[in-house]
Amino acid sequence: MNSHVKSELIFDKSRNGRRAFAQAPNAVKASKIPSKLMRNDKPRLPEVSEPQTVRHFTRLSQLNFSIDTQFYPLGSCTMKHNPRACNALALLPEFAGRHPLGPISHGQGFMSCMFELQEMLKDVTGMKGVSLTPMAGAQGELAGVAMIKAYHEARGDHERTEIICPDAAHGTNPATAMMCGCQVVEVPTGPEGDIDFDALKLAVGPKTAGIMLTNPSTLGVFERRIKDVADLIHGAGGLLYYDGANLNAILGKVRPGDMDFDVIHMNLHKTFSTPHGGGGPGSGAVGVNDRLLPFMPIPIVGSKQVEGKTLYDWLSEDDLPQSIGRLSGFMGNAGVLLRAYVYMRMLGCDGMKRVSEFATLNANYLSSKLQEAGFELAFPARRASHEFIVTLKHEARSLNLTAMDFAKALLDKNYHAPTTYFPLLVPECLLIEPTETESKETLDNFVTAMIEIATAAKKGVEFKDAPYTMPVRRLDDVKAARQLDLAYQPE
Amino acid sequence: MPFIPHTEKDTREMLQTIGVNSIDDLFDEIPTELKIDQLEHVPGALSEMEVSRFMKQRAKIDGSPMCFIGAGAYEHHIPTAVWDIATRGEFYSAYTPYQAEASQGTLQVIYEYQTMITQLTGLDISNASLYDGASALAEASLMAVRINRHVKSGRVLLAPGVNPIYEQVASAIAGAQGLTFERLPTDITTGNVDFDLLPKDSDPVAVVLQQPSYIGTLDDVNRLTDWAHANGALMISVVNPISLALLKAPGHWGSEGADVAIGEGQPLGIPMSSGGPYFGFMTCKKKYARQMPGRIVGRTTDLDGNLGYALTLQAREQHIRRSKATSNICTNQGLMVTAATIYMSLLGYEGLVNVAKTCHHNTALLADGLSAIDGVERLFEGPFFHEVALKLDRPISSLLEILANRNILAGLDITSFVGSDALLICATETKTQEDIEVFITAFSEAMASVNTNSA
């Protein structure tokens, strides 16, 4: 880490007349476009050389923490190793250069991968149909809730507009329900982390469109009464939505379809290791059971036999007239889907199972070690799934050491912080997800770092001003929001 | 075990620390009847060598045809440095910059991106990007409803040249909140808005104009922008970022400028890659900043008074506001924006102008050459940027198939959109004069081998 490197903006390096001359064609004669449609100002883009550009962005990259450079136990985000082969093979020239509207005669290679990806995801989730088109988890959620609504409406059941969400749900769940024109009914969590079943019974009724659940939940524990929940919701005429954020915990072991979920989105950028890329692209494929097959978003890759050979084709409006429609300009984040496909082929059926096994082993080992070291687990009576929660409520009270301080102190020890202050219902929490790709030594060293911070705090060391070794100190968020500076203006 | 570092000894010691006998014991809270033994449709594992050989075979099936299709995704030269740097592990494998101090690289890149895209579009504020151009129209329409709160119609009026897929996507995403999308009348000679037939008292919440249009035409952006504002509507522009090197920026449309600009960011250094991942850009006037969806990066100071970057205006977003958020969106297309920022830096304004002019010049050459063939003429009068619609007197599907067999993707069949046999063609800076001549000759031969519609 290059600490305290003061980074200039690319605009500071700009000089009139400079540019990367190898990268654009020479000027050609003036255009035939009428002048009233032409621009007559000069946008301020940087004027820099190629070597300057390469150095500038390479140095910026070095200011980031990343999986490739640090342990990154960010709960709910599944920050596992991203294999390089997945990227390289998705960017093979024929795949990278393929136009999305090119004919299927020049797309059978790509489409065969997509078809097989659909089939593998069906198997992994226990669902009957998969559409790959949603571009992120939140768009997968939107597709899922829109399908639930379309299902009820197709049955003339127009009054079902309520979506039930546990209080521990990801913020996207209620925000999605709202975008789909539904109302949100929140249900509380019981003392051991399961949904409060009695409260759920009261929340269910003739207006229930469905419930959105993450299982294992955002609290890092498996919802033990999932079958009862499913029976209750189905009995009331509602459907079950599975938020796939935590699919890594059960991959190859338990399938949402077998838990009686009707629809699921997967975060391919989590479970199937496509890059997080500094916050995207994601990929939020959806899976459905029989009930929702007619409503899937398009396009989908279909296959048929023509003269003894398999021909892959696009399924569109004509094939699925009740579809909720299109969610992207073409077919979603195709290049991300290719990366996920390569990853799944490298894991194979046995590898899938090992993902959840070793993710769970690592989480339980880490939680045992931290508990042994005196940290309080939010749900000590429960088995951790692939992640778990430490609560620092005592440290916050007695040592004035908050979850935020702890997170920043970890940065100085060269660890990315766990997720802080989520789920909202656990005070001063750290949500820790080590993933299966971290070694025992890394986990042991992380425990040591956690102990060192707690020990220092007990001796009176304050971490209110941490971090100290990063390129910047703690930033003034209030100033950022009040005195908006969202684009560079020259002095 | 691919990507799992545990030795048998590690596993044994870890299980001992936890106090269980086997990994299976860790799943003891899951009801037994829910567990499966084996996945049935996932094949066995491949090594990297095996999967590489396999994927190369698959890629070879698709080949590398000469492509003259545009229609929302464009083949441009991508400098090698763009993806060399964007796929550095520090960018590629980082998460959303929630821990700002450990994410200054990503945050500064987004701040620089926001600056560049506001410059190109001539507007004040940019977000950190949306999923793609089509979904950006849905988000812009919902934003218009939030801004234009006194307009209750939910009616968004689309110019004739707005990409029909964008309309479908916007309708699928925003329809549940009561928005409807309707088309403005078309002047059939130009393909543009028929200003004589514009609706009276339609009470629109927003008007959307795509420039250049889906069918390649250039419309009177000033006149429609002023009409939108005179009718109390927000003006949303859909633009191609490469074209903005030449064409008037949305912020300068009409007397007040468009209010929101969106578009597909793919032309800025993103491979076509079968349709994604791309990124949607969105900029707006400063007064609408708090109604924007998606992440936004701001510059601020740290404890020592030094400049630094952080996500800001987060009170709009789902992780804080939950069901009252401006959108459910929680991702931007961070990696794609990183690539686009490097692309715009390498090209600069002068470089973009040269790319845009070469695209325009090549498309003019191609359109002139093809129009000289018997049975081919331009569908619309008027200026264009780098796409042109052609009217043909032969069935397009047969022509496209013949040319595809010669490894030429001749354009997009837009017959169903315009209502008569029509082909949309595009030639970017990647095409040489020789490529264009090869295409014209092949097209002429294909035309000669297919009967006319009347025959």
3-state secondary structure A5-18: CCCCCHHHHCCCCC
CB contacts < 8 A, A to B, total 678
Residue A290 lies in a domain: yes
Residue A175 has pLDDT above 60, yes or no: yes
What mean pLDDT comes out for the span B89-116?
97
**What digits encode the pLDDT tens for the residues B310-364?**
999 988 888 878 878 888 888 889 999 999 999 999 999 999 999 999 999 999 9
- The answer to whether residue B34 neighbours chain A at the CB level (below 8 Å) is yes
Distances (CA, A) of B315 to A165, B292, B327: 21, 11, 12
CATH architecture of B80-342: 3-Layer(aba) Sandwich (3.40)
Contact B302 A97 (CB under 8 A): no
CATH architecture of B66-75+349-449: Alpha-Beta Complex (3.90)
Residue A351 lies in a domain: no
Q: Is B91 left (phi over 0), alpha (psi -120 to 50) or beta?
A: alpha
Final residue of a structural domain among A311, A346, A381: A346
Residue A5 has pLDDT above 70, yes or no: no
- The answer to whether residue A32 neighbours chain B at the CB level (below 8 Å) is yes
Is pTM, for the whole model, over 0.90?
A: yes
Closest partner CB to B62 (pick from A42, A94, A122): A94
pLDDT band at A6 (very low <50, low <70, confident <90, very high): low
- The reply to whether omega before A216 is within 30° of 0 (cis) is yes
Question: What CATH code is carried by the domain that includes residue A272?
Answer: 3.40.640.10
Task: Give me the domain span that covers residue A316.
Answer: 85-346
Shared-domain flag, residues A265 and A336: yes
- The answer to whether residue B430 neighbours chain A at the CB level (below 8 Å) is no
pLDDT band at A27 (very low <50, low <70, confident <90, very high): confident
Shared-domain flag, residues A104 and A42: no
Contact B348 A180 (CB under 8 A): no
**What digits encode the pLDDT tens for the residues A286-345?**
999 999 999 999 999 999 999 999 999 999 999 999 999 999 999 999 999 999 999 999
Residue A394 lies in a domain: no
- The answer to whether residue A314 neighbours chain B at the CB level (below 8 Å) is no
Question: What share of chain A has pLDDT > 90, as a percent?
Answer: 96
**Cβ contacts of B14 on chain A, cutoff 8 Å:** 361-362, 365, 440
Contact A66 B93 (CB under 8 A): yes
Sign of CA dihedral B129, B132, B135, B141: positive
Find residues 446-465 of chain A whose CB sits inside 8 Å of chain B: 465
**Cβ contacts of A260 on chain B, cutoff 8 Å:** none
Contact A417 B218 (CB under 8 A): no
How many structural domains comprise chain A? 2
**What digits encode the pLDDT tens for the residues A105-134?**
999 999 999 999 999 999 999 999 999 999
Residue A390 lies in a domain: no
**What digits encode the pLDDT tens for the residues B384-441?**
999 999 999 999 999 999 999 999 999 999 999 999 899 999 999 999 999 999 999 9
Shared-domain flag, residues A163 and A236: yes
The structural domains of chain B, with segments of one domain joined by +, span 66-75+349-449, 80-342
Distances (CA, A) of A426 to A423, A429, B207: 6, 6, 46
Q: What is the DSSP code string of A222-234?
A: --TTHHHHHHHHH
Sign of CA dihedral B295, B297, B298, B300: positive
**A305 in Cβ contact with A48 (< 8 Å):** no
Shared-domain flag, residues A144 and A29: no
Shared-domain flag, residues A52 and A89: no
Q: In the numeric block, which tokens belong to residue A267?
A: 């975060």
Residue A188 has pLDDT above 50, yes or no: yes
Find residues 289-308 of chain A whose CB sits inside 8 Å of chain B: 297
Residue A3 has pLDDT above 50, yes or no: no
Residue A1 has pLDDT above 70, yes or no: no
* Nearest chain B alpha carbon to A438: B5
User: How far away is chain A from the Cα of B124, in angstroms, using its nearest Cα?
Assistant: 8
Final residue of a structural domain among A346, A364, A383: A346
Q: In the numeric block, which tokens belong to residue A98?
A: 């393929």
Contact B277 A221 (CB under 8 A): no
Shared-domain flag, residues A100 and A45: no
**Cβ contacts of B319 on chain A, cutoff 8 Å:** 170-172, 422
- DSSP letter assigned to residue A311: E
**Cβ contacts of B38 on chain A, cutoff 8 Å:** 349
Residue B266 has pLDDT above 50, yes or no: yes
Instruction: State the complex-level ipTM.
Output: 0.97
Residue A263 lies in a domain: yes
Please give the Cα distance from A323 to A293 (Å, whole number): 9
Displacement of CA A190 from its chain's centroid (Å): 26
**What digits encode the pLDDT tens for the residues A372-404?**
999 999 999 999 999 999 999 999 999 999 999
pLDDT at residue B455, rounded to an integer: 57
Shared-domain flag, residues A206 and A242: yes
**What digits encode the pLDDT tens for the residues A471-482?**
999 999 999 999
pLDDT band at B229 (very low <50, low <70, confident <90, very high): very high
Residue A4 has pLDDT above 50, yes or no: no
- The answer to whether residue B115 neighbours chain A at the CB level (below 8 Å) is yes
Residue A352 lies in a domain: no
Closest partner CB to A328 (pick from B101, B135, B289): B135
First to last CA, chain B: 65
**Cβ contacts of A47 on chain B, cutoff 8 Å:** 348-350
**What digits encode the pLDDT tens for the residues B244-263?**
999 999 999 999 999 999 99
Residue A92 has pLDDT above 90, yes or no: yes
**Cβ contacts of A481 on chain B, cutoff 8 Å:** 298, 312-315
Nearest to A193 by CA among A426, A359, A372, A403: A426
